[in-house]
């Protein structure tokens, strides 16, 4: 594996060649031919898909997540993002702050609550989000012209941010485009401010976004749901 950026303090890391070309092609083919409940952007709640579960628990992926989380790294959520000229969209600057939970519990700092695809979600406190990291496995080359992830390094340390603060940071912190060949992984903290532009080429950008946690139990009876 080739590590392009090993500064975990920045809130993201780019690691090339985690899976080889044959593995990526087989995974992409399996997902393409599977009967997934797709939306315009891709498909949610894929942890029960055998091929997705297999790659989520792959020792290479778990070891990468463990570098951010410690000895334990448990995959609990998987999402396919499928961006192409036919399925194109813009993602504005934001933080990922909602987590899938087993049940609703009225505890301080959690909420508001919602239901997505039959799964209970809540906006989480920064202390819970610090226990989580996402690995974005690329099924296609991510290039400057096909809507790559864009991040503001170091912003994950600033806690939960208001929209006005995010807007200010976009003018103060130089952004980084997370370009990586197919088979590579972008590791990111959920609170890093990030965005992506539309595809501006014929090349699609499919990403399997898998989230890991130190423990499924987040305290106060709040427990992550496998989704």
Q: Hey, how many other C-beta atoms are within 10 angstroms of the C-beta on 10?
A: 19
Ranges of each domain in the chain: 2-95+133-218
Distance CA 178, CA 180 (A): 6
Q: What is the 3-state secondary structure (H, E, C) of 23-92?
A: HHHHHHHHHHHCCCCECCCEECCCCCCHHHHHHHCCHHHHHHHHHHHCCCCEEEEEEEEEECCCCCCCEE
pTM reported for the whole predicted model: 0.94
At 153 the three-state DSSP class reads: coil
Mean predicted lDDT score pLDDT of the chain = 92
Our measurement of the distance from residue 196's CA atom to the centroid of its chain's CA atoms, rounded to an integer in Å, reads 13
Q: Encode pLDDT of 14-28 as tens digits.
A: 999 999 999 999 999
pLDDT band with cut points at 50, 70 and 90 for residue 83? confident
> 76 with 128: CB under 8 angstroms?
no
From the list 204, 208, 147, the residue with the least C-alpha distance to 23 is 208
Q: Domain 2-95+133-218 - what CATH class?
A: mainly beta
Q: Encode pLDDT of 95-137 as tens digits.
A: 999 999 999 999 999 999 999 889 999 999 999 999 999 999 9
Distance CA 157, CA 9 (A): 9
From the list 122, 120, 124, 102, the residue with the least C-alpha distance to 112 is 122
Signed CA dihedral, 154, 158, 163, 165: sign only: negative
């Amino acid at each position: 594996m080739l590590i392009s950026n090993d500064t975990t303090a920045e809130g993201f890391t780019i690691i090339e060649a985690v899976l080889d070309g044959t593995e990526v092609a087989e995974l992409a083919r399996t997902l393409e031919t599977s009967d997934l409940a797709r939306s315009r952007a891709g498909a949610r709640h894929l942890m029960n898909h055998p091929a997705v579960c297999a790659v989520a628990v792959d020792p290479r992926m778990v070891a990468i997540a463990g570098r951010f989380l410690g000895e334990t790294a448990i995959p609990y959520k998987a999402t396919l993002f499928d961006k192409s000229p036919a399925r194109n969209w813009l993602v504005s600057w934001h933080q990922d702050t909602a987590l899938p939970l087993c049940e609703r519990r009225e505890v301080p700092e959690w909420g508001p609550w919602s239901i997505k695809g039959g799964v209970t979600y809540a906006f989480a406190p920064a202390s819970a989000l610090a226990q989580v990291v996402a690995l974005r496995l690329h099924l296609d080359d991510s290039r400057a012209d096909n809507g790559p992830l864009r991040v503001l390094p170091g912003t994950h340390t600033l806690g939960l941010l208001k929209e006005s603060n995010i807007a200010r940071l976009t003018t103060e912190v130089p952004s980084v485009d997370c370009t990586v060949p197919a088979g590579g992984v972008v590791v990111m903290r959920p609170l890093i401010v990030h965005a992506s532009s539309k595809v501006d080429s014929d090349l699609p950008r499919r990403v399997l976004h898998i989230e890991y946690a130190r423990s499924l139990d987040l305290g106060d009876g709040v427990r992550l749901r496998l989704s």
